Amino acid sequence: MFQENKIQIIKKYLPLIFIVLLIIVYAVWNKPHKNYSNTKPNITIDSSNFINEFKTNSTLATEKYLNKIILVNGNVTDTLTKSVVLNNGIVCTFDSLSLKALGLIQINNEVSIKGRFVGFDDLFEEIRLDHCFIM
């Protein structure tokens, strides 16, 4: 008797549970991406000081800056198709929204770039920023 009631309750509410789960999956799947252009920087730093911190202790510096929004001021030493190199040590990869501004940057210009720190490449000794925007 009790077993039959349990099966009836499950049959009754199973479609409702399935619909709720579908709504949750749809909401999570279509969650908007974070807009880094409007995010205020956590840290503002000069490029030479930023590079020196990693030369001194890369592990400690990585822990300090990982996934933080950083505003870096520095001298452009190289331009690539989707990125800019500051002071031969900071590679700033731009979002598709800011690629037009990349054409305005010239080598030896002083710029301020905001981006998210994603890591330090020990082999090339390069600091990597992504989602970058020119300020």
Are 88 and 63 contained in the same domain? yes
Query: Which domain covers residue 7, as residue numbers?
Result: 1-31
Q: Among all chains, which residue has been given the structure tokens 């000794």?
A: 125
36 lies in some domain: no
β-pairing, 69-79 with 43-46?
Answer: parallel
**CATH number, residue 70:** 2.40.50.140
| Total domains present in the chain | 2
DSSP tag of 87 = T
Lowest mean pLDDT among 4-8, 79-83, 90-94: 4-8
Among the listed residues 22, 86, 83, the one whose alpha carbon sits nearest the alpha carbon of residue 54: 86
Are 19 and 80 contained in the same domain? no
130 lies in some domain: yes
Residues 23-81: tens digit of each pLDDT:
999 999 998 878 777 889 999 999 999 999 999 999 999 999 999 999 999 999 999 88
Residue 128 is predicted with a pLDDT of 96
